[in-house]
Amino acid sequence: MPSRDRIDRHVGVAAMRDPAASLRGSQVRATGATGLTQPNEMMYIISKDGTMRYPAEHKQQTRQRIVRAAARRFRSRGAEGATIGTLMRGLRLTHGGFYKHFGNKEQLFLEAFEQSLTEVSSKAFEAVQNAPPNGQAKALIEGYLDAEHAGDVAGGCPVAALAPEIARRPAKARNEFLRVLRKHIGTLAKYLPGGTAEERERKAGVLLSGMAGTLNMARVIVDDEQRRRFLDDATKFYLEAIRR
C-alpha cells in the first residue's frame, strides 16, 4: 500500500504542472489511501515502486471489449480478413497492448467464437422461454431461420460464418472448437423431441449443422422475397424432420 507521503508527493508534483491538480489531489485523497481515482472510469493504482497500474477490473473490461469486437469482426470478415492491428485501432488501443491479454490471434479467435455462440444462444433461448412447452423446438428453428438473422452476418451464428475456416485448422485446434460446440449442442438438445438424451443430442448436432448451411445458402440469395420463401421452406422441412 503506498504511504501517505508518497501520495502527497505525487499530488504535489502534479499541482506544480497543473494549477487544477491541487483540487484533483483533494479528490484523490477522498477516495482513500488505497489508490487514486479520476472521475470518468479512469482508475489507476500507485504501486509500492511508484509505477501506475490499472486495476484488475479495468484489464478484464478491456479484454471483454476486444473479444466482443473480434466476435463481430471475425464473423463478418473471417479470421484472415480481421487483422489484430485493425481491430485494436478500432478500439483505440495499441497493437502491443493485445499481447497483454492474449498469447496469439488463435486464442482470440477461439474466445470470440465462444462469445458469438453465447450471444446467439441467449437470443434463441429467450424465444424458447416465451414459447409454450410443445412449441419450444418450433421457436428455436423459426428464430434461427429468420430473415433478420440471415441478414446479420456480423451478429449471427458463428457456425454458419466460420465453420469452413475451422474445418481447415489442425486437429488439435478443431478439438477446442468442438468442445465449445458440444456444450452448445447439449443445451439445444433439451428443447428437441426424443426418447433419450443421446437421441436428442444427435438430432441437435444434425439440426444445427443443417440450419447453418441453410443460413449460408439464404445469404447467397439476393432477392429478399426469394430468400424469405427459401427460409420458410427450410423451416417446415426441419420441423418435420425433428419429429421423426
Q: What percent of the chain has pLDDT over 70?
A: 78
Tell me: do 30 and 138 sit in the same domain. Answer: no
Average pLDDT over residues 65-70: 96
Whether residue 48 is predicted with pLDDT greater than 60 in this model: the reply is no
Q: What's the confidence (pLDDT) of residue 116?
A: 96
Tell me: do 27 and 126 sit in the same domain. Answer: no
Whether residue 6 is predicted with pLDDT greater than 60 in this model: the reply is no
Q: What's the confidence (pLDDT) of residue 34?
A: 41
Whether residue 54 is predicted with pLDDT greater than 70 in this model: the reply is no
- Its pTM stands at 0.73
Confidence band for 53, pLDDT divided at 50, 70 and 90: low
Average pLDDT over residues 182-199: 94
Tell me: do 108 and 26 sit in the same domain. Answer: no
Q: Report yes or no on 129 lying in a domain.
A: yes
What are the residue ranges of helices labelled H in the chain?
A: 4-17, 21-30, 56-81, 84-90, 105-129, 136-144, 147-151, 158-167, 171-189, 197-220, 224-242
Q: What's the confidence (pLDDT) of residue 80?
A: 86
Confidence band for 13, pLDDT divided at 50, 70 and 90: very low
Q: What percent of the chain has pLDDT over 90?
A: 66
- Whole-number mean pLDDT of the chain? 83
Tell me: do 232 and 136 sit in the same domain. Answer: yes
Q: Report yes or no on 85 lying in a domain.
A: no
Specify the amino acid at residue 53.
R
Tell me: do 116 and 212 sit in the same domain. Answer: yes
- Three-state DSSP class for residue 83: coil
Average pLDDT over residues 23-32: 43
Which CATH number characterizes residue 134's domain?
Answer: 1.10.357.10
Tell me: do 41 and 132 sit in the same domain. Answer: no
Domain limits for position 48: 4-53
Q: Report yes or no on 80 lying in a domain.
A: no
Tell me: do 152 and 237 sit in the same domain. Answer: yes
Tell me: do 42 and 110 sit in the same domain. Answer: no
Whether residue 88 is predicted with pLDDT greater than 90 in this model: the reply is yes
Tell me: do 45 and 135 sit in the same domain. Answer: no
Q: What's the confidence (pLDDT) of residue 243?
A: 87
Tell me: do 15 and 125 sit in the same domain. Answer: no
- What's the structural domain count of the chain? 2
What are the pLDDT digits (tens) for 115-152? Answer: 999 999 888 888 898 898 789 999 999 999 999 999 99
Tell me: do 132 and 43 sit in the same domain. Answer: no
Q: How far is CA 22 from CA 25, 121, 138, 142, in A?
A: 5, 51, 64, 61
Whether residue 19 is predicted with pLDDT greater than 60 in this model: the reply is no
Whether residue 214 is predicted with pLDDT greater than 70 in this model: the reply is yes
Tell me: do 220 and 110 sit in the same domain. Answer: yes
Crossing angle, helix 197-220 and helix 158-167, to 10 degrees?
A: 90
Count of beta carbons in the 10 Å neighbourhood of residue 125: 18
Confidence band for 218, pLDDT divided at 50, 70 and 90: very high
